[in-house]
Amino acid sequence: MTRIILIGYMGAGKTTIGKALAQELGVPFYDLDWYIETRMRRTIKQIFDEKGEEEFRRIEHNMLHEVAEFENVVVSCGGGTPCFYDNIDYMNSQAQVVYLKASPEVLYEHLQMGRRVRPLLLGKSPDEVRTFIVEQLALREPFYSKANYTLNVDLLDNFTKIQTTIENLRKILER
Ligand SMILES: Nc1ncnc2c1ncn2[C@@H]1O[C@H](COP(=O)(O)OP(=O)(O)OP(=O)(O)O)[C@@H](O)[C@H]1O
Ligand SMILES: O=C(O)C1=C[C@@H](O)[C@@H](O)[C@H](O)C1
Ligand SMILES: [Mg+2]
């Protein structure tokens, strides 16, 4: 049985790498943010706006328990998922959990790509976003580093190297 969960800060590449890894392993891919959006029929931003972060975290916790019980899957989490409730311990008990570790500089670069709305970064200037990443990453690192595997993705920072990331992941997971 293959059950792999990717965690890490916003922009680390959980969705990008997760999707590609699932395709290679021939198993379904679930992105927890997308799963929540489909189940709630609301975007993550709408949930934050309408219900607040605390309620979002409660929904996220419940939905994590749904997807982490599927068999033969790759799941990518939201950036904050491991940092609330007992989510990280629960994930470690259910799956091979991989922390995609990236420096604030690489995270910042990634967050400039794509057009995804990230409620926690809205309304911040580039400098404020940089400072926010450094400070929040320091607070979250103790949770992320509990993952039973860690892969540093700083050196794998371009599109062709996404394949190298997948190969490295398969090696450490022996999949
Ligand atoms: N190894 C990589 N090399 C180059 N670009 C990457 C790499 N990983 C991710 N990216 C790019 O960085 C951006 C953010 O990646 P992605 O959306 O997968 O991050 P995430 O961890 O899922 O973020 P979030 O927590 O906000 O959902 C994307 O545009 C993606 O193409
Ligand atoms: O880092 C976070 O706390 C978040 C990351 C996103 O994936 C979403 O789950 C949401 O925007 C919150
Ligand atoms: Mg994502």
161, part of any domain: no
Number of domains present in the structure of the chain: 1
40, part of any domain: yes
160, part of any domain: no
164, part of any domain: no
Q: pLDDT value at position 164?
A: 85
- Give bridge partners of residue 100 from the DSSP assignment: 151
**Cα–Cα separations (whole angstroms), residue 126 to 4, 115, 118, 123, 131:** 33, 15, 14, 10, 9
Query: Is the C-beta atom of 119 inside 6 A of ligand 2?
Result: yes
Rounding to the nearest 10 degrees, give the CA dihedral for residues 129, 132, 138, 140.
-90
74, part of any domain: yes
With beta carbons less than 8 A apart as the criterion, state whether 67 and 30 touch. yes
Regions of the chain with pLDDT less than 50:
none
Ligand found nearest the CA of 78: 2
Q: pLDDT value at position 161?
A: 73
First to last CA, the chain: 10
111, part of any domain: yes
Query: Is the C-beta atom of 82 inside 6 A of ligand 2?
Result: no
pTM for the whole thing?
0.92
Q: pLDDT value at position 165?
A: 86
Ligand found nearest the CA of 45: 2
Range of the domain at 115: 3-155
Q: What is the CATH number of the domain that holds 70?
A: 3.40.50.300
Q: pLDDT value at position 123?
A: 92
Chain length of the chain = 175
Q: CA 74 to CA 23: how far, in whole Å?
A: 9
With beta carbons less than 8 A apart as the criterion, state whether 106 and 137 touch. no
Using a 6 Å CB cutoff, which residues line ligand 1? Answer: 8, 10-16, 33, 76, 78-79, 110, 113-114, 118, 153, 156-159, 161-162, 165
104, part of any domain: yes
169, part of any domain: no
